Structure 1
């Protein structure tokens, strides 16, 4: 079943709040830190990289995650696997995310919409080809939870990482590097690059060098903001990301897609009251 391209953008808006649960619900970090990890970034890398197993070098995770500055991943991987195991990290992350979702959703967590949305979202999430999508493929190899809230979170995470793998392709197509991607995003929403969360911790000289490189390519102007070419590049990246994110939803009929949207809307709205978009 082929749907209009706008489906991917609409589903992104509905799914992203669920996908953000590991990063903005305290329960996720708390569950991972209880394994003996040292800080929230240990928790981030252990939780997200765990599907690859313990033997994958930091350089490979850096390549797949794409958006971290050189050397950042190696501060945490493979060190975290001296403190816990990938299996324990996967279980703790799921446990914490389910607890966070239940806290935020309240009675909605046990409503029929969660189970219905989880089943439909899983149908979409497990239908797309895995070729060229390393993180999505690694997640597809994990067992599917049966508990409805966990099932919904798992399906949303699959789709978030499927989209993320495609977003990397879009950035590569436009010649935008990992750190540059954060600069591009920050400036596209009129935020100074140094104030963006994933950039503010970088040494000033390192961030300046990245921006200077983008300026030399005509993406950033002398005033420090995106040029017309820079904004056009951002728009092409987002458009291609949407196109590459369409495939999972072709598994759903129009009526299934309508029901999924109806089920997800109150869940997404509840989560958006707590998490940023």
Structure 2
């Protein structure tokens, strides 16, 4: 698969997208853009996918900051969105001091984002959905460098790679 024409084309299209977006306000993405793009197709695909991930991540941080959601709060909202309850048991935050987690949960309750049982309120769910929608919007610019046909081709070329990864147990 590493030498396939499909992988090489996916690497080319992913690189085209990943190197096309503005870097302003995107610290991690801007840092990744300063690194040389590898010539090996697998390394190029990996590197370009990493740039796209960081571009999206920088947009997610902007959306969270705009919604006045801090880092630990973001993890709580993600846990609730994934159905983890209590959210304090979520793997990314379960190790934090109990007092800190209690303070975060109390702050989310005071803001009306979680209820007394530590579950989403309607306002909390709407806030999470707004953040995700804005993150999606902010992640779009790199893909706008691809024509609709190129975007379809990229998806088609990535499908067998995705299937192979899934078959190997990757999530």
TM-score range, shorter chain: over 0.9
CA shift digits 1:15-56 (9 cap, x unpaired): xxxxxxxxxxxxxxxxxxxxxxxxxxxxxxxxxxxxxxxxxx
2:58 pairs with 1:165: yes
Aligned to 1:275: 170
What is the aligned partner in structure 2 of residue 126 from structure 1?
A: 19
Alignment-derived partner of residue 2 in structure 2? 109
**Offset at 1:269?**
2.5
TM-score of the pair, normalised by structure 2: 0.95
Superposition pairs of residues 38-77 of structure 1, within 5 angstroms: none
Q: Which residue of 2 aligns with 1:60?
A: none
Q: Secondary structure at the match of 1:109?
A: coil
> CA-to-partner distance for each residue in 1:212-252, whole Å, 9 max, x for gaps?
11011000101110100000000000000000011001111
Partner of 1:68: none
- The residue that corresponds to 1:187 in the other structure is 80
Match of 2:46 in 1: 153
Residue 208 of structure 1: CA displacement?
A: 1.2
Runs of 4+ residues over 6 Å off in structure 1:
none
CA offsets, 1:134-161, max 9 Å, x none?
Answer: 0100000001100010000000000000
Deviation at 1:198, TM superposition (A): 0.6
1:176 to 52, 56, 69: 69
Q: Root-mean-square deviation (CA), in Å?
A: 1.0
What count of residue pairs does the alignment treat as equivalent?
169
In structure 2, the gaps of 5 or more residues are: none
> In the aligned structure 2, how far is the partner of 1:275 from the partner of 1:194?
26
1:35-88 deviations in whole A, cap 9, x for unaligned? xxxxxxxxxxxxxxxxxxxxxxxxxxxxxxxxxxxxxxxxxxxxxxxxxxxxxx
Shift of 1:265: 1.2
Q: CA deviation at 1:190?
A: 1.5
The residue number in structure 1 matching 2:34 is 141
Task: Pick one of 76, 97, 108 that aligns with 1:214.
Answer: 108
1:234 aligns with 2:128: yes
Where 1:239 maps in the other structure, the secondary structure is helix
2:157 counterpart of 1:263: yes
1:174 & 1:115 partners in 2: Cα distance? 40
Match of 1:200 in 2: 94
